[in-house]
Chain A
Amino acid sequence: MSATPVADVTPTPGAGRAGQAERAGQAGRRVRRLRAFLSIPQAMVGSVLLVLLLALTIIGPFVAPYSPNAISDTPVLGPSGKHWLGTDTLGRDIFSRVLNGGGSVILLPLLAVGLAMVIAVVVGLLSGYLGGLVDAVVTRVVDVVLAIPSYLIVLVVVTAFGAGSTIVVLTVAVVYAPYIIRVLRAATLAVSPLDFVLAARARGEGIRWVVFREILPNIGPTLLVEIALRTTYAIMFIASLSFLGLGVQPPSSNWGVMVAENRLMLLVHPAGVIAPALLIGVLAISINLIADALTEFFGDRLHNQLMV
Chain B
Amino acid sequence: MVAASDSADTADTADGADGGDGARHGWNWRRPPYLARALVKLVLTLLAISVVVFGLTAMAGNPAHDILGMDATASQLAAFTAAHQLNQPVVVRYLHWLAGVLHGDFGQSYVSGGSVWALIEPRLGRSLLLILFSWVLIVVVSVPAGLLAGVRLRGKADVLATLVTLSIAAFPEFVIGMVLIIVFAVNLKVLPVDSTAVSQGGLFDSLSSYVLPALTIALGSIPYIVRLMRANARDVASHSYVRSAVLRGISEPALSARHILPNAAPPVVTALGLQLASLVGGVIVAETLFGFPGIGQLLVQSAASRDAPVVETLTMMIGAAFVIINLLSDALVIMLTPKLRDAGR
Of all chain A residues, the one with the shortest Cβ separation from B175 is A277
Asked if A285 meets B170 with Cβ closer than 8 Å, knowing A149-B277, A156-B56, A273-B178, the reply is yes
What are the interface flags for A241-254 relative to B under an 8 Å C-beta threshold, 1 for contact and 0 otherwise?
00111100000000
- Chain B CB within 10 Å, residue with most, of A159, A267, A284, A304: A159
Contacts of B167 in A (CB 8 A): 285
Q: How far is the CB of B175 from chain A (nearest CB, A)?
A: 4
How many residues on the A side are at the interface (Cβ–Cβ under 8 A)? 43
* Known contacts A244-B285, A244-B288; is-contact A163 B174 (Cβ 8 Å): no
Instruction: Give the residues in chain B near A56, CB-CB below 8 Å.
Output: none
- Distance A212 CA – B56 CA, assembled complex (angstroms): 34
* A156/B53 in contact, CB under 8 A: yes
B280-A240 in contact (CB<8A) = no
Report the Cα distance A127→B65, complex, angstroms. 42
Contact B323 A151 (CB under 8 A): no
Rounded to whole angstroms, the CA-CA distance of A232 and B172 in the bound complex is 10
A307 within 8 A of B: yes
- Which B294-320 residues sit within 8 Å CB-CB of chain A? 299-300, 302-304, 306-308, 311-312, 315, 318-319
B103-151 residues at the A interface, CB under 8 angstroms: none
Q: Which of B178, B182, B306 contacts A162 (CB 8 A)?
A: B306
With a cutoff of 8 Å between Cβ atoms, the chain A residues found around residue B231 in the complex are 304, 307
Per the CB 8 Å criterion, the residue count for chain B at the interface is 54
Q: Are A259 and B300 in contact (CB under 8 A)?
A: no
Interface pair B319/A152, CB less than 8 Å apart:
yes
Question: Roughly how many angstroms separate A274 CA and B174 CA in the complex, as a whole number?
Answer: 12
Taking a contact as CB atoms closer than 8 A, the residue among A155, A288, A292 that contacts B299 in the complex is: A155
Instruction: Closest B residue to A284 by CB, please name it.
Output: B170
Contact count A vs B, C-beta below 8 Å: 134
Task: Give the distance in Å from the alpha carbon of A243 to the alpha carbon of B322 in the complex.
Answer: 25
A111 vs B57: C-alpha distance in the bound complex, in angstroms?
A: 25
Is the beta-carbon distance between B172 and A152 smaller than 8 angstroms? no
**Is A21 close to B, CB under 8 A?**
no
Which residues 257-278 of A have a CB within 8 angstroms of B?
Answer: 259, 263, 266-267, 270, 273-274, 277-278
Interface string of A218-242 (1 = CB under 8 A from B): 0000000000000010001101100
The residue from B45, B53, B178, B304 contacting A163, defined by CB atoms under 8 A apart: B304
Q: Are B319 and A240 in contact (CB under 8 A)?
A: no
Interface string of B150-178 (1 = CB under 8 A from A): 00000000000000001101111111001
**The residue from A147, A159, A239 contacting B303, defined by CB atoms under 8 A apart:** A159
State the CA gap A246–B302 with chains docked (Å).
Answer: 11
Tell me whether B193 and A147 are in contact (CB under 8 A). Answer: no
Q: In whole Å, how far is A126's beta carbon from the nearest beta carbon of chain B?
A: 23
Tell whether B281 is near chain A: CB-to-CB under 8 Å. Answer: yes
- The winner among B172, B227, B228, B299 for most chain A CB atoms within 10 A is B172
From the candidates B186, B312, B315, B323, name the one contacting A266 in the complex (CB within 8 A).
B186
Q: In the bound complex, do residue B182 and residue A240 qualify as a contact, i.e. CB atoms below 8 Å apart? A: no
Find out whether the CB atom of B45 lies under 8 angstroms from the CB atom of A144.
Answer: yes
Q: Which chain A residues lie closer than 8 Å to B315 at the CB level?
A: 152, 155-156
* Residue B95 lies at the interface, judged by CB distance under 8 Å to chain A: no
* B322 contacts A149, C-beta separation under 8 Å: yes
Shortest A238–chain B CB gap in Å is 9
Give the interface centre of A162, A267, A277 by most chain B CB atoms within 10 Å.
A277
Mark A153-169 against chain B: 1 for CB-CB distance below 8 A, else 0.
00111111111000000
20 contacts between A and B (CB under 8 A): A147-B323, A148-B319, A149-B322, A152-B315, A152-B318, A156-B57, A157-B56, A159-B303, A159-B307, A160-B306, A237-B172, A240-B173, A240-B285, A243-B172, A243-B174, A243-B285, A245-B304, A246-B300, A266-B182, A266-B186
Q: Which 10 A-B residue pairs are closest in the complex by CB-CB distance?
A: A160-B60, A236-B172, A285-B170, A149-B280, A149-B277, A151-B281, A159-B311, A155-B303, A277-B175, A281-B171
Instruction: Identify the B interface with A (CB < 8 A).
Output: 45, 48-49, 52-53, 56-57, 59-60, 66, 166-167, 169-175, 178-179, 181-182, 186, 193, 227-228, 231, 271, 276-278, 280-281, 284-285, 288-289, 299-300, 302-304, 306-308, 311-312, 315, 318-319, 322-323, 326
A residues neighboring B (CB under 8 Å):
144, 147-152, 155-163, 232, 236-237, 239-240, 243-246, 256, 259, 263, 266-267, 270, 273-274, 277-278, 280-281, 284-285, 288, 292, 304, 307
